[in-house]
Structure 1
Amino acid sequence: MSLYCRKGKAVFLVFILLLSFLLQTGCAFKDIDKRLFVMGIGVDYTENEKKPYRITLKIALPTGSLKEASNAEYTYLVKDSNTLAGAIRIMRTHVDKELDFGHARVILFGEKMLGQDLKDVMDFFLRRSDIQLISWVAVGRPTAEKVLKTEPTSEMAASNALFNLFADNSVESAFIVTTFLFDFRRRVLEYGIDPILPILQTNEKDKVSVNKSIVLISEKRSLELSSRQTKFYNLLANKLEELDLEVKKDDLTLLINIDNTKVKYKIITPDNQNPVLKMDIEMGGVIEESNKTLSSDKLELYNKYANEVSKKRIISLLTLFQEKEVDPLGFGLRYKASRLHTKDTYAEWQKIYPDLVFEINVKTTIKSTGTIK
């Protein structure tokens, strides 16, 4: 091939590239002043067959200065519809800017939604590319709309109060269960582990609390966990930041601050015997409060008291899960994954779970009595 032919092809390719630039439609990016940022999404059940879903969007209003941004200002869009996507399309006609869901980190379901099939609703959030899979999912009591519309006095536009409840860099509490959207989907669709969601409660205009949780069994059944049960669930699920363990023995009352835990377990199925779940728990901390003067020479005795109380409460919680036929800790998933054969393993687990015997071994190490001699 001659030199002129090669140069001619190069010129032709350059010409085609330049021509393609002229055919571009332009950038679809919208400036920040043309957007409204959705901070939270609420879904409630209306009991209206034609429009069963009530969608609530919490939108942060832009401010002109940092001083004004210190006071949170929000607006809310509420719409009833038979589909979530249809409701959002109508909501777009109610504002003069584009709705941006990139900051929507909290998705709330009203209590009445728990009696419905959440798979269809969840499908919408998973299909939208602008909703993050690391968004937190929770239950709003009495409704998702009321929880979203509650504005705590400490809330700032750049730091949403609901975000702070679940983020590890803000509130750290053993009473708070965190469930991400991707994990919630896995728990809903997977056999061997049940979904668990935190409950956000509001009774006042400026107060939201979260210290309980609920395990979803089916559309018609659920199991609500108390504050103490939620705390020990977090301990067993290895999601514990810190745990206050109250110990009462005779006339002695101790409050131990547990700051590190380690949980290991295995499922044993011996022949011609009841299956056994053997769990080893290690905890460490310091005594935070006491009704009597304590001696550092009796730490082993205090450890023994803590072991007895912890073991009793953990067995009580596991027995409750067993009686209600729920498995938020994923024991069934562990059973399926730890068996060589893969056929009908979940069916086997369903048969042995009611007869499972819990062997709990707790080892508590109290570092000090919390006082200085």
Structure 2
Amino acid sequence: MIISLHRRFIITILALSMLLQSGCGFKDIDKRIFVLSIGIDHSDNDEKPYKITLKLAVPSGSIKETGTKYTYLTKESESIASAVRLLKSHVDKEIDFGHAKVIVFGEKILDHDMNEVIDFFVRRRDIQKMSWVAVGKPSAEAVLKAEPSSEKSGSHALFNFFDQDGVESVYIVSTYLFDFYRRMSEKGYDPILPVLSSSDNKKKIVVNNSILLANNKEPLKLSPEETKLYNVMANNNEKLNLTVKRDKLLFTVSIDASKTSYKIITKPKQRPVLKMNVSMKGVIEEANQPMNPAKLSTYDKYVSKDLEKQLTELLTKLQENDADPIGFGLRYQASKLHTEKTYKEWRQIYPELSFDVHVKVSIMSTGIVE
């Protein structure tokens, strides 16, 4: 009996609390318009430096209707928040950021304090921290307004570039908002962003470059090949091709499995060394000459030596530009007894660091050519 009264009391309290709740925060779906991506450019106006572009999906009245339907909102303001507030007066529906998965920065905005730029996005509770972050070329607005012919209504082509459900490419770097924010504030781990380039006719978007933001210096651009090598070292990408040329022999190896590990060795009175080991397995995908299966070990050495040289050159370039997108500095701090001087020690060590890269490529077969 006591238990029954207790349950009735709890049910009554819950019912009363539901009656007292306000319904003002809820809006029907037909009263909302969904943002798919957000673009931030510099407006060249010191009073209103931020130019915000929103790409919104226009709901279709019938499932039989085909074609891509979007609308765009653009506004310049002194802050991102005020621009968004002003844009709300441009549509007859509530702007919903819950589906916004891509944030694009124009190239010119990279010259400003990026901590200030992303502050709005990391504070807003309705913007996903799993959103992808990228750089737009020639501008974020141009990239957002590009509509590839393969883009379906209600979807967004940019999503397919980064979610690994569509395109799977070693030339694409995927950076999440939470990771970008972490790298901006973390010591010893620099942010890297993919570069989205739109064609002049706005019918194609290309993603095969990347850009580094390191220690408040000029952004460092990486070529497609350098971006591929970065993915090999940082992300253990498995689906990639390696092309080797020896005299008249030219062949390409398709890598199916890849693993990278490294350690930083510091000894008294000796130059610090970063030892990196890379192991790969694959098959020959293309060749300009017949490939002899008995010479697979020779082909292994060709690929391994070429890749060792390429990785060492990229590591040296990053070192010369004081850039660390792989997180060597973070690893060093984590492997040492942490003190206030640990990061200062790394800043002294990194310019003197030598690279010892060892690559072992195992070619399993010459393909299925008979």
Pairwise same-fold verdict (TM > 0.5): yes
Unaligned 5+ segments in structure 2 are none
Residues 197-254 of structure 1: CA deviation (Å, up to 9, x unaligned): 0000012321100000000124451110000000000000024141110101111001
For 1:221-232, list aligned pairs within 5 A: 221-232=218-229
Residue in 1 aligned with 2:104? 108
One-letter amino acid of the structure 2 residue matched with residue 78 of structure 1: T
1:174 to 2:170 alignment: yes
The structure 1 residue matched to 2:161, chosen from 143, 158, 165, is: 165
Measured in 1, the distance between the counterparts of 2:8 and 2:295 equals 89
* Contact 1:114 1:219 (C-alpha < 8 Å) held by counterparts: no
Of the structure 1 ranges 29-38 and 188-197, higher mean CA displacement relative to structure 2 is found in 29-38
d(CA) in 1 for partners of 2:13 and 2:296? 82
Cα shift readout 1:43-77 (whole Å, capped 9, x = no counterpart): 00112111000000000100122332x41110000
1:1-48 per-position Cα deviation (integer Å, ceiling 9, x unaligned): xx9xx9999999887766555433236321111110100000001121
Which of 68, 73, 80 in structure 2 is aligned with 1:72?
Answer: 68
* Structure 1 match to 2:42: 45
Letter in 1 for 2:261: K
Q: How does 1:199-218 map to 2 (within 5 A)?
A: 199-204=195-200, 205-218=202-215
Which structure is larger by alpha-carbon Rg, 1 or 2? 1
Alignment root-mean-square deviation, CA: 2.1
SS of the aligned residue for 1:67 comes to: coil
1:317 pairs with 295, 314, 329, which one? 314
Task: Kindly report which structure 2 residues correspond to 1:56-205, keeping only aligned pairs within 5 A, or say none.
Answer: 56-68=53-65, 70-204=66-200, 205=202
Secondary structure, counterpart of 1:237 in structure 2: helix
Q: Any unmatched runs of 5+ in structure 1?
A: none
Q: 1:194–1:215: 8 Å Cα contact kept in structure 2?
A: yes
Q: 1:286 to 1:94 in 2, by over 3 A?
A: same
Tell whether 2:268 aligns with 1:304. no
Runs of 4+ in 1 over 4 A off after TM superposition: 6-22
Residues 236 and 258 in structure 2, CA contact (< 8 A), matched pair in contact too: no
Q: How many residues were matched structurally?
A: 369
1:237 aligns with 2:234: yes
Q: Does 1:357 align with 2:354?
A: yes
2:173–2:193 Cα contact (<8 Å) kept: yes
The amino acid that maps onto 1:77 is L
Aligned residues with identical type, % of pairs: 54
User: Which residue of the partner structure matches residue 250 of structure 1?
Assistant: 247
Pair 1:347 & 2:323 matched = no
Quickly say closer, same or farther: Cα 1:49–1:309, change in 2 above 3 A: same
